[in-house]
Amino acid sequence: MKTISSYEELINDLYSENITMVNPIFIKSILNFYPNISKVEGDILECGVWRGGVSIFLSHLFHDRNIWVSDSFQGFQPLTNAKYNYDKERHTPNYVQCANGPIGISLEEVKSNFETYRLKDDPRIKFLKGFVKDTLPTSGIEKLALLRIDVDAFSATLEVLDEMYDKVQPGGYIIFDDTCLYEVIDALKVFFKKRNLEECIYHPVTHEKCNLYSKYTNTDSGFESACYVIKQ
């Protein structure tokens, strides 16, 4: 088991050991959100965890909260299982490998990573195995202070928001890891419009307010990764 002396060291170690593929800059941004999130009632939920790195960090940072770790632990869901049709979807079961390794990581491997970082059998940590459309409705989650969505796909992003947006308490944060992908921006446009929400997200580092119909970077969506909103 590893001994880590600071959150920054933990973040850097998770990244260097390939337990997360999230840029450390964006994980460290959660440290800046912590004083605000800590004042909000509710649990912490990450949907789409890969090898568990960000959830491991969140488990240490929010040491007095329930941490929900949601993933299929087998890769992307079949289009036939998706709630929403989207003809530009790239993240299907055929997408099995990325530059950082396999997409589908088993629950056993993820639990082993939690154990490595001194989180073995922690009763606060609750694993939800399966596609979000199937697991979130019966999860028993009542209130959330932080919802982090890292599911890549159009339908899965909407499925999480449909089920969990209303669980996020006022002042709570929703972080969209994949705002660099056009699938996710398209999903946010649909959801925000449906719920009559302001169609803007915030840059994770500069906190610039970004309109969903503009472009701010050279990513295929025009947005930086890990943009966020604060529930009103």
What is the 3 state secondary structure string of 181-212?
CHHHHHHHHHHHHHCCCCCEEECCCCCCEEEC
Say which CATH architecture domain 7-230 belongs to: 3-Layer(aba) Sandwich (3.40)
Residue 82 host element (H or E): none
Q: Where are the beta strands (DSSP E) in the chain?
A: 43-47, 67-71, 97-98, 101-102, 125-129, 144-149, 168-176, 200-202, 209-211, 227-230
- pTM, two decimals, is 0.97
Q: In sequence order, which ranges of 53-204 are alpha helices (DSSP H)?
A: 53-61, 107-116, 132-135, 154-164, 182-194
Q: In the predicted model, is pLDDT for residue 182 greater than 90?
A: yes
pLDDT in tens, 36-95: 999 999 999 999 999 999 999 999 999 999 999 999 999 999 999 999 999 999 999 999
- Taking the C-alpha atoms of residue 75 and residue 94, their distance in angstroms, rounded to an integer, is 9
Mean pLDDT of the region 184-205:
98
Q: In the predicted model, is pLDDT for residue 140 greater than 90?
A: yes
Mean pLDDT of the region 119-129:
97
Other CB atoms within 10 Å distance of the CB of residue 68:
26
